[in-house]
Structure 1
Amino acid sequence: MAGLIIKNLSKTFLINDKKVKALNDINLSIENESFTAIVGKSGCGKTTLLRIICGLEKQSTGQLEFTHCNENDHNSKRVGIVFQEPRLMPWLTVEQNMAFPMAENKNNSEIHEIVHKYLSMLGLEKFKDAYPSQISGGMAQRVSLGRTLCYDPEIILMDEPFGALDAFNRRKLQNEFINIFREYKKTIIFVTHDVEEAVYLGQNVVIVDEGSIIKQISVPLDYYRDITSPEFLTLREEILNSILFKN
């Protein structure tokens, strides 16, 4: 498994000939086999940080260091990402979408075994032959998650993956993902603007505002968490107040 150390990381975009700083001097240590939630208002830089970690963007300054990786394995899979939209290929079935990341590296027997393990885990076996247009949004997000799990990354990045779902499907997928984390002990970095979701899922919560980390909070609660408990509500209020009254 892998962890991550981020040192003095900044990102500046050039928009209409003006420099806009999206991230400012980010320093963050993510332990391997941990669940970190990054929370903040829309536009605070959360997604930009995630895109830099997975290599979709390049930082302007600073460093990222992956820890606990096998540096001698050039085929090492370090990072997988689940976006807010499922981003499934509409011409492939559920099963084929999940199998796609393994096409070049595994034989058909291995692919079949891995895909069906996650189809079963995510309750998608009856829909394996369906196309994305034939399943619900919640199911499509499960397929997206299953596709990432089939890829078997050391670090899983999640960019508000449940944000577009109704409350019932959101909580169901949150609990399923907690099960996956507890069983497979992946390193997870989960971006959200939902403070309750951050406290419900994360072992650690990193609060970002205007491109900077303003606070980090440890969540000393066991899974599954009672969102009505005094301890949960106190943590939620602490995070909300950190964002609302940061000055």
Structure 2
Amino acid sequence: METTDKVMDAALLHSELVVADVSKTFVTKSGPIEALHHVNMTVEHARFVCIVGPSGCGKSTLLRMMAGLSPCEQGEIRFRGEQRQGPCRQIGMVFQEYSLFPWLNVLDNTGIGLQFNGMGKDQREQEARRYLGMVGLEKFALAMPHELSGGMRQRVAIARALTNAPDVLLMDEPFGAIDAFTRITLQKRLLEVWEQSRKTIVFVTHSVDESVYLADEIIVMGTNPGRIVDRFAVELPRPRRRDDPAYAGLVARILTLLEQQDDMTA
């Protein structure tokens, strides 16, 4: 398809992920619902990209397709030039739910992927401890999940994803169920991890403020059908300050855009 070819030609040489003319429709009892409509985007190496938009705009669906957990019906998704055909070790995912094994301690939860891949106990524990240190939980290696706060459990989930050494980390509203203060703390911790590891991150969120605080680039999506309505390069210096007028101005611009989209679909 011509649209796909143009996106691919412009992006393949410099992007880790390419989403080219992707559409997705779900069949429900009330009829078909177009979750995604001709979505095109690229994600460059070591960039932090946030996808923001209202519920029902297809953010999580798009992320699952990037992870190879859901097939494309139209268009294609490529990782380093190769079309995605399912999950791969180079792309990791962190879900909103903590999804830790309650019968395993923090250390074993963190290294479980390495165990599945056949790595010996000493080596996988060494790797797990390294990434627990990156998220500030090295002292809790032997704790059980029920002994941790929600924010700590989410940090374990992030450490587990990093321990598998993915090149791209996909994050589906990982802080959505966490209180506001802890959320801010986790945002700072995630940026520290990103700066150390230089992973490519694609982060889905409902929060415009969170996207401006974290991202190099923000993809704004609208609903009915799910589609990209605009992109914003975030050129504010790091670490970012929420009292910076430029910060507040960008948040206001994106919120206004989302409100306009809501008025159009009302």
TM-score, normalised relative to structure 1: 0.94
Three-state SS of the structure 2 residue aligned to 1:165 is coil
Mapping of 1:204-219 within 5 angstroms?
204-210=217-223, 211-219=226-234
State which of 234, 237, 244 in structure 2 corresponds to 1:229. 244
AA paired with 2:72? Answer: Q
Equivalent residue, structure 2, for 1:38: 51
Three-state SS of the structure 2 residue aligned to 1:197 is helix
Equivalent residue, structure 2, for 1:178: 191
CA pair 195-76 structure 1, distance change in 2 beyond 3 A: closer
Three-state SS of the structure 2 residue aligned to 1:24 is strand
Mapping of 1:67-86 within 5 angstroms?
67=80, 77-86=89-98
Does residue 96 (structure 1) correspond to residue 108 (structure 2)? The answer is yes
CA distance in 1, matches of 2:135, 2:78: 32
The question of whether the paired residues in 2 share the 8 Å contact of 1:2 and 1:33 is answered with: no
Q: CA deviation at 1:132?
A: 1.0
Equivalent residue, structure 1, for 2:73: 60
The question of whether the paired residues in 1 share the 8 Å contact of 2:22 and 2:39 is answered with: yes
Equivalent residue, structure 2, for 1:243: 258
CA pair 76-59 structure 1, distance change in 2 beyond 3 A: closer
CA deviation string 1:62-82 (max 9, x = no partner): 10111278x9xxx96221111
Greater CA drift, 99-108 or 205-214: 99-108
Unpaired runs of at least 5, structure 1: none
TM-score, normalised relative to structure 2: 0.87
Three-state SS of the structure 1 residue aligned to 2:96 is coil
Three-state SS of the structure 2 residue aligned to 1:220 is coil
Number of residue-to-residue matches in the alignment: 243
AA paired with 1:222? Answer: P
Greater CA drift, 103-112 or 147-156: 103-112
Q: CA deviation at 1:17?
A: 6.2
CA distance in 2, matches of 1:68, 1:126: 41
CA distance in 2, matches of 1:206, 1:112: 37
CA distance in 2, matches of 1:13, 1:138: 33
CA deviation string 1:22-73 (max 9, x = no partner): 000000011111000000011111011011111221121110111278x9xx
Equivalent residue, structure 2, for 1:220: 235
Does residue 153 (structure 1) correspond to residue 159 (structure 2)? The answer is no
Q: Which has the higher contact order (CA 8 A, sep 6+)?
A: 1
The question of whether the paired residues in 2 share the 8 Å contact of 1:9 and 1:62 is answered with: yes
Three-state SS of the structure 2 residue aligned to 1:245 is helix
The runs of at least 4 consecutive aligned structure 1 residues that moved more than 4 Å come to: none
The question of whether the paired residues in 1 share the 8 Å contact of 2:15 and 2:43 is answered with: no
Unpaired runs of at least 5, structure 2: 1-13
